[in-house]
A and B are shown apart, each in its own frame.
Chain A
Amino acid sequence: MGSVHHEPAGGPTFEPLIQVDMEIKTFVSAWQHCDYVSTYMARMISQKRSDSVRHSNLFSSAFNELLEVAFRTRHAEGELACRVSRQGATDRIELTIPCVPEERQFYQEAVAQVAGFEARERYLNSVSGDLAPSREVVLLELAVDYNATLRVEEAEGDAIKLVVDLPLEGLQH
């Protein structure tokens, strides 16, 4: 807890719901942590949604992908911080991931790609391609299947902050 959150002036205010921090070392010690953290947080934040069970299933699905991306970090020090906040129908995930400088650049480029208008094509190509989905494809999928918007923010120290807005409430039925 404790990090101060700045919104762009005049932007909507996101109400904080939950935050889970852990040593990146601990996190990457077991793959199941991705599933476990995503399921736990999804359950915690979904109770007030109009359909808690469906919301929790969707949220966990999207969040797990982000955690699996974070799992592949090559940086062995620092903290992974997951914070979820809410504004109306949108849930915001802020994931602060320790990373080395090349990775910072990777995230910036990947997020720029996701915003590109050919995102859907790129995603479809990856599904029919031979390679297992790269981290970039995983981020693309969030945009394509969950209408997520992504951006990267600077974070203190050797870390980046991935900010993902998920309009899941609008995605139901």
Chain B
Amino acid sequence: MSPYILHPRFKAQYDPNNQEFSISGVVRPQAIDELGPSLALLRDAISCVRGVLYVNVKRLTQMNNAAFHAFSRVIIDACRARPDLRFVVITSSVVGWTSRKFGRLSGIEPNVTVEEYDSEFYPGQGFLEEGGFVPILRTQTKMTWRHERAILPRHGMRPGIVMADICCGIGDFAVLVQKEFQPSRIVALDHSISSLDYARRVMREFDIRGIEYTYGDASEMLLDEAQFDLVTCRHSLQIFNRPELILKELYRICKPGGRVYITNEKNSHCLGEPRAESIRWTYNEVAKLFAHFEMDVELGPKSRRYLMEAGFEDIRVESFMVTNLDGDPQDFADVIEAWADVYAGEMAAKRGDGPEFVARFRQGFQDHIFAALHPKGYAGWPIWIASGRRPQ
């Protein structure tokens, strides 16, 4: 057991612009006086808001009954003194007890509602959390693994380490790493329940040990600080509208001296011969389509800047190209087919694209497949890998 660290383990804040009081961290006081300043802040907030006060407990990981009662009292008293005021408590679906516990308040005071903040993290989330993406992810990981298994040791991967894979999807990468490098522990986190169910089923069926799958939000993780030697986050920074927030979390859970490893794409650089022009046009459009949903699939080459700005040192960047020559060209073709389905299907429809555009858009994918399967053809999908060390 390590010595208990005495520092304030929670934080209360009030943001007048959003009329939002938030409390985060571990709140387990022995006596209520310890909460004095936070309770005063809540009372002050109540006295100056009009309409609705948001009480944000998304990042509240623990709160004992004594503290819960103290905060509840302030809210309940305010409801009685100011019937014009509404309280919206925002909990996280990730922290299991908060919705139940705070939910009791709405049973007591009708002016309190409790909302579980959940799915709408970023605009394009729906497309990627649906089960339809599973086959793409499988084949993609199979193709990228051929390259990454040789690259990973240059970025801190070695046997015995404790690692986390954030936005792990269906867990294929974690399983491959487990077999090849035998880390002592892998925590794999994702926000898709169906992907995690799939991953757990694979783990059971193949009797794989040492991987712990966990449901969570990459931008607000329940994981403790500074516990991993290596934190990986693959093909995912590029799907968040604010990647720097995720990177901050990756930094937080990484040990000082440990590394954070990210992979990202630059879709407009997908290429093929023959039919290069049509392919190029379509992938330029892919980048624009994602941008429309506030996702930056051009992020790859920006990784270095993101890592520097997040405070990492000893930053290493490299890139590789998955091609139709890597293994079975049909695998490459399958991945493109799946991209076409989602991008020229659901996503284009959602943006409101007309049939003419969609036909041309689709054609580029067909041409990419044509290049991949052509006996003299060449088709590529470039990936950028970057890692940085958290300073000691």
User: How many Å lie between the Cα of A50 and that of B212 in the bound state?
Assistant: 8
User: How many Å lie between the Cα of A51 and that of B64 in the bound state?
Assistant: 22
User: What is the distance, in angstroms, from A135's C-beta to the closest C-beta of chain B?
Assistant: 10
Tell me whether B76 and A54 are in contact (CB under 8 A).
no
User: Which chain B residues border A47 with CB–CB below 8 Å?
Assistant: 212
* Contact of A133 with B65 at beta-carbon distance under 8 Å, contacts A53-B214, A54-B222, A128-B108 already known: yes
User: Which chain A residues border B62 with CB–CB below 8 Å?
Assistant: 35, 57, 60-61, 64
User: What is the distance, in angstroms, from B180's C-beta to the closest C-beta of chain A?
Assistant: 22
User: How many Å lie between the Cα of A57 and that of B60 in the bound state?
Assistant: 11
Interface of A, secondary structure class, is helix
User: What is the distance, in angstroms, from B185's C-beta to the closest C-beta of chain A?
Assistant: 8
Is B146 an interface residue, CB under 8 A from the partner?
no
User: How many Å lie between the Cα of A34 and that of B93 in the bound state?
Assistant: 26
User: Which chain B residues border A64 with CB–CB below 8 Å?
Assistant: 28, 62, 64
User: How many Å lie between the Cα of A30 and that of B1 in the bound state?
Assistant: 15
Is B223 an interface residue, CB under 8 A from the partner?
yes
Interface residues of A in 6-61 (CB under 8 A from B): 30-32, 34-36, 40, 47, 50-54, 57-58, 60-61
Is B37 an interface residue, CB under 8 A from the partner?
no
Tell me whether B215 and A35 are in contact (CB under 8 A).
no
Binary interface encoding of chain A residues 114-134 relative to chain B, with 1 for a CB under 8 A from any of its CBs, else 0: 000000000110111010110
Partner of A130 from the list B26, B73, B96, B216 (CB cut-off 8 Å) is B73
Tell me whether A173 and B93 are in contact (CB under 8 A).
yes
Is B51 an interface residue, CB under 8 A from the partner?
no
Nearest A-chain residue to B96, judged by Cβ = A58
B97-105, B128-136, B301-309: which one contacts chain A? B97-105
Is B193 an interface residue, CB under 8 A from the partner?
yes
User: How many Å lie between the Cα of A50 and that of B95 in the bound state?
Assistant: 15
Interface residues of B in 79-135 (CB under 8 A from A): 93-97, 100-101, 104-105, 107-109
Tell me whether A145 and B100 are in contact (CB under 8 A).
yes
Tell me whether B97 and A68 are in contact (CB under 8 A).
no
User: What is the distance, in angstroms, from A170's C-beta to the closest C-beta of chain B?
Assistant: 11
Binary interface encoding of chain B residues 185-196 relative to chain A, with 1 for a CB under 8 A from any of its CBs, else 0: 001010001001
Tell me whether B65 and A137 are in contact (CB under 8 A).
yes
Tell me whether B214 and A52 are in contact (CB under 8 A).
yes
Is B275 an interface residue, CB under 8 A from the partner?
no
**Of B96, B107, B108, which is in contact with the most chain A CB atoms at under 10 Å from its CB?**
B96
Tell me whether B213 and A51 are in contact (CB under 8 A).
yes
User: How many Å lie between the Cα of A171 and that of B193 in the bound state?
Assistant: 15
Partner of A124 from the list B108, B213, B222 (CB cut-off 8 Å) is B108
Is B208 an interface residue, CB under 8 A from the partner?
no
Is A3 an interface residue, CB under 8 A from the partner?
no
* Contact of A57 with B96 at beta-carbon distance under 8 Å, contacts A32-B4, A173-B215 already known: yes
User: What is the distance, in angstroms, from B205's C-beta to the closest C-beta of chain A?
Assistant: 14
Is B13 an interface residue, CB under 8 A from the partner?
no
Is A94 an interface residue, CB under 8 A from the partner?
no
Tell me whether A127 and B32 are in contact (CB under 8 A).
no
Interface residues of B in 294-351 (CB under 8 A from A): none
Q: Can you pick out 20 interface pairs between chain A and chain B where the beta carbons lie within 8 Å of each other?
A: A32-B6, A35-B26, A35-B62, A51-B196, A53-B214, A53-B222, A58-B97, A61-B97, A64-B64, A68-B66, A124-B108, A127-B72, A127-B108, A128-B109, A130-B73, A132-B66, A132-B70, A133-B65, A133-B69, A173-B215
Task: Give the A-binding residues of B (Cβ under 8 A).
Answer: 1, 4, 6, 26, 28, 30, 32, 61-62, 64-66, 68-70, 72-73, 76, 93-97, 100-101, 104-105, 107-109, 187, 189, 193, 196, 200, 212-216, 222-223
Top-5 shortest CB links A-B: A31-B30, A53-B214, A52-B212, A133-B65, A58-B96
Task: Give the B-binding residues of A (Cβ under 8 A).
Answer: 30-32, 34-36, 40, 47, 50-54, 57-58, 60-61, 64-65, 68, 123-124, 126-128, 130, 132-133, 137-138, 141, 144-146, 171-173
